[in-house]
Amino acid sequence: MKLIDKITVILILLVLITGFSIYGVWEDKMMFLSLLIPVVYIALAMWVVAAGWRAANGRGRTSEIPCRKTEGREQRSDDKIQRTEDRGAGRPHSFVLRPSAAGMMIPPGGIMLFLFWSYSALMIPFSVIPYEAKISTLRLGCYVGTYWVVANICSRFSRRKVVWVTLLLALLGVALYSLVQHKINFDMLFGSERYADYGGRLGGTYICPNHIAHLFQMWMPFCFIFLFVPQLGWFGRICFGYAIPVFGLLIYQTQSRAGLLGAVVSVGMLFLLLMLRKSRKAFAIALVAAPLLVVSGIGGLWAGSSMFRERMEPVFQVLNKAMGGNWEEVASLDFRPMTWADAGLMIAQDPITGYGPGNYGQSFPEFRMRWRATRRETVHPHNEPLELLAEYGIVGALLFAGAVICFCISLVRVIKDSDRRSYALPAAAMLAALAGTFVHGLFDFELRIFPNALMLSVLAGCAAAPTRKEGRAGSLSRWTCVLFSAFLLLALVWSLQVMSSAGLRVRGDLLRLSGNRKQAETLYNAAVRIDPQNWQAYLGMGQVYSHYRYYELDAEKKTLLAQQERDAYARAYRHNTKKEEVVYGLGRAELACGNRDAGIDYLRQAANYRRFNDFYWRKLGIELRKAELYEEAREVFEHAYSLDRSNPTVRANLKWLKKHVAAE
Looking at per-residue confidence, does 223 or 661 come out higher? 223
Query: What pLDDT score was predicted for residue 92?
Result: 46
Query: What pLDDT score was predicted for residue 283?
Result: 83
Query: What pLDDT score was predicted for residue 79?
Result: 43
Looking at per-residue confidence, does 179 or 307 come out higher? 179
Q: What is the mean pLDDT of residues 221-242?
A: 93
Query: What pLDDT score was predicted for residue 189?
Result: 81
Most confidently modeled range among 328-332, 338-342, 594-598: 594-598
Looking at per-residue confidence, does 565 or 280 come out higher? 565
DSSP H helix total and E strand total for the chain: 25, 7
Looking at per-residue confidence, does 614 or 335 come out higher? 614
pLDDT digits (tens, 9 = 90+) for 160-187: 999 999 999 999 999 999 999 888 887 7
Q: What is the mean pLDDT of residues 511-522?
A: 94
Q: What is the mean pLDDT of residues 197-226?
A: 91
CB neighbours of 116 closer than 8 A, spacing ≥ 6? 140, 144, 392, 396, 399, 400, 403
Q: Is the per-residue pLDDT at 320 higher than 90? A: no
Domains of the chain listed by start with CATH number: 3-66+91-488 (no CATH), 500-663 (1.25.40.10)
Counting residues of the chain whose pLDDT is more than 90, the rounded percentage is 63
pLDDT digits (tens, 9 = 90+) for 547-575: 999 999 999 999 999 999 999 999 999 99
Q: Alpha carbon of 236 to those of 74, 83, 163, 233, 431: distances in Å?
A: 22, 17, 12, 6, 22
Query: What pLDDT score was predicted for residue 278?
Result: 85
Q: Is the per-residue pLDDT at 95 higher than 60? A: no
Q: What is the mean pLDDT of residues 51-76?
A: 51
Distance CA 496, CA 516 (A): 26
Looking at per-residue confidence, does 532 or 191 come out higher? 532
416: number of Cβ within 10 Å: 16
Q: Is the per-residue pLDDT at 325 higher than 90? A: no
Query: What pLDDT score was predicted for residue 72?
Result: 40
Query: What pLDDT score was predicted for residue 418?
Result: 85
Q: Alpha carbon of 603 to those of 373, 586, 611, 624: distances in Å?
A: 21, 8, 12, 10
Residue 407: in which H helix or E strand, if any?
Answer: helix 384-417
Q: Model confidence at 45, in pLDDT bands (50, 70, 90)?
A: very high
Q: Is the per-residue pLDDT at 93 higher than 50? A: no
Weakest mean pLDDT among 222-226, 298-302, 524-528: 298-302
pLDDT digits (tens, 9 = 90+) for 433-451: 999 999 999 999 999 999 9
Distance CA 391, CA 352 (A): 10
Q: What is the mean pLDDT of residues 260-275?
A: 91
Q: Is the per-residue pLDDT at 6 higher than 60? A: yes
Query: What pLDDT score was predicted for residue 65?
Result: 43
CB neighbours of 262 closer than 8 A, spacing ≥ 6? 213, 214, 217, 436, 437, 439, 440
Q: Model confidence at 200, in pLDDT bands (50, 70, 90)?
A: confident
> What are phi and psi for residue 564, nearest 5 degrees?
-65, -40
Looking at per-residue confidence, does 36 or 190 come out higher? 36
Q: Is the per-residue pLDDT at 70 higher than 90? A: no
Q: Is the per-residue pLDDT at 192 higher than 90? A: no
Weakest mean pLDDT among 21-35, 111-125, 597-611: 21-35
In contact, 25 and 190? CB cutoff 8 Å:
yes
Q: Model confidence at 102, in pLDDT bands (50, 70, 90)?
A: very low
Q: Model confidence at 73, in pLDDT bands (50, 70, 90)?
A: very low
From 142, 149, 146, select the one nearest 494 (Cα to Cα): 142
Distance CA 460, CA 455 (A): 8
Overall residue count recorded for the chain in this entry: 664
Q: Is the per-residue pLDDT at 469 higher than 60? A: no
